[in-house]
Structure 1
Amino acid sequence: MARGDQIYVMREFMGLPGLYEHHGIDCGDGTVIHYRKTEVARISRTSMAEFAMGQPVYVKRYTTSYLPDVVIQRAESRIGESAYNLTTNNCEHFTTWCKTGVNESAQLRNFGLDAVRISLPGTDKLINEAIDSSSPAKSMELYRQALDNIASAESTLRPQYQHAQKEENTWHRVALAALKQGREELARAALYRKVQWKKTAADFKSQIDYLETLKAQLNRDSLPLRQTISSG
């Protein structure tokens, strides 16, 4: 480890040990800047011992990154911030931004918990609570609620997707009929409407596909919890 390194230790995830990476920036003087989670998660400078909590410390390597002094300056500029959000501004988002300038969390992509592309009211809060809970049974219940929110969003999107498809087909038929009648202006207007509805349908389809993928990943990632509960 060296000054300006992005470091991490393994922490509990959904009540199970050693499944979640907690990231920080090594200041090179025995201190670490990281999102310190007390009652309110806040970016703080703490001792290495407090950061590690008795766990091995690992270094996240990059082929290209800022110079150590720049990394430290970026980290120090955000000390005191309390805008933690699991899917958009967690400890890894913060440290990756300090190190590379990119605000991202690789582990959330692996867990299938990166920011959802459509609004799912309450789901982000449920996932945060599931991760923070020390009870596997409670975590599983919160995960089920998150899945219910996804199902609700999907049930709202599907009729809108079907309506957009119907409108696309309708304007396609109008354009063909207009061309047969030699009404080019009407045909162009109809084709414009068709293209707009096609884009709308594609957007709805993309969101539905993402929800399906997220749902499958959440089910897969909750498997250790189900196994823990069933064997308990």
Structure 2
Amino acid sequence: MGQAITLVGEAQGFLQCNCNTSPVTRSELKPGDHIYTERAGYVYFHHGIYVGEDMAIHFLPDPKKKGILSSSAASSSLQGYGRCRKCGHSPDRDGGIVKTCLDCFRDGNSIRVFRYGVTHIPLRYCSRKNSKPPDQVVECAIHLFEQNGFGEYNFIFNNCEHFASFCKTGSGSSSQVDFWV
């Protein structure tokens, strides 16, 4: 269903929409939500799918391959050998499709929900595409996690936002790549 949109102005002849990009609390999250969190001071965003029980499935670059977006520093929930006490995730070791607790996903930043089915020109935080039902979104994310079946991470052509949008719509896209490119 379409999300209510508040018009906030005009830029370059296009109406902009306010897709309610405010941070959400854990209690506001619903399984099947496409979630995202800022990285590097809002330079880019990390995306995933909330699957319930304080867990997210998301797509990470291989930490062994040094590149434009190699894994971030260990989050505060890590101990000992760099593994999270809650979910066992290690940002220094784990890449590909991972299932982690929300603390590891957010890495100290706020969580926001990416909106689908908006009725006006979308910005970086929403899409005109309609979402599949939440149970199908979760099922898709879990299947891809179990198969580690989303290919090799590529910042431009196959990133975390491509993964999350694929789970939501069946078609991978990245509004932040479109924005930067």
TM-score bin, normalised by smaller chain? 0.5 to 0.7
User: Which is strand-richer, 1 or 2?
Assistant: 2
Greater relative CO, 1 or 2 (CA 8 Å, sep 6+): 2
For 1:85 and 1:77, the matched residues in 2 are separated by: 20
Is structure 2 residue 48 aligned with structure 1 residue 24? yes
Residue 168 of structure 2: aligned partner: 99
TM-score of the superposition, structure 1-length normalised? Answer: 0.44
CA RMSD of aligned residues (A): 1.4
| Amino acid in structure 2 at the alignment position of 1:94 | F
| Aligned equivalents of 1:11, 1:35: Cα separation in 2 | 14
Distance 1:29 1:62 in 2: 23
Q: Which amino acid aligns with 1:84?
A: Y
Per-residue deviation, 1:42: 0.7
CA distance in 2, matches of 1:35, 1:94: 7
Measured after TM superposition, the shift of residue 33 of structure 1 is 0.2
What stretches of structure 1 of length at least 5 have no aligned partner? Answer: 113-232
SS in 2 for 1:9: strand
Return the offset for 1:39.
2.7
Q: 1:49 aligns with which of 63, 83, 103?
A: 103
Residue of structure 2 aligned with 1:62, choices 116, 127, 133: 116
CA contact (8 A) 2:31 2:51 kept: yes
Larger CA Rg, structure 1 vs 2: 1
Question: For this pair of structures, how many residues does the alignment match?
Answer: 108
* 1:62 counterpart letter in structure 2: Y
Find out whether 1:39 has 2:58 as its counterpart.
no
Secondary structure, counterpart of 2:108 in structure 1:
coil
Shift of 1:36: 3.1
Report matched runs for 1:160-175 at 5 Å: none
- The structural deviation recorded for 1:44 is 0.7
Secondary structure of 1:77's match? helix
CA–CA distance in structure 2, aligned partners of residues 98 and 46 of structure 1: 17
Equivalent residue for 1:74, pick from 118, 133, 140: 140
What's the TM-score once normalised by structure 2's chain length? 0.56
In 2: Cα distance, 1:7 partner to 1:56 partner: 10
**Shift, 1:87, TM fit:** 1.5
- 4+ residue segments displaced more than 4 Å: none
- For 2:176 and 2:31, how far apart are their aligned partners in 1? 23
Question: What secondary structure is seen at the aligned counterpart in 1 of 2:144?
Answer: coil
- Pairwise mapping of residues 75-154 of structure 1 onto structure 2 (< 5 A)? 75-79=141-145, 80-81=148-149, 83-112=152-181
One-letter amino acid matched to 2:139: Q
Q: Gaps spanning 5+ residues in structure 2: where?
A: 1-28, 66-94, 118-129
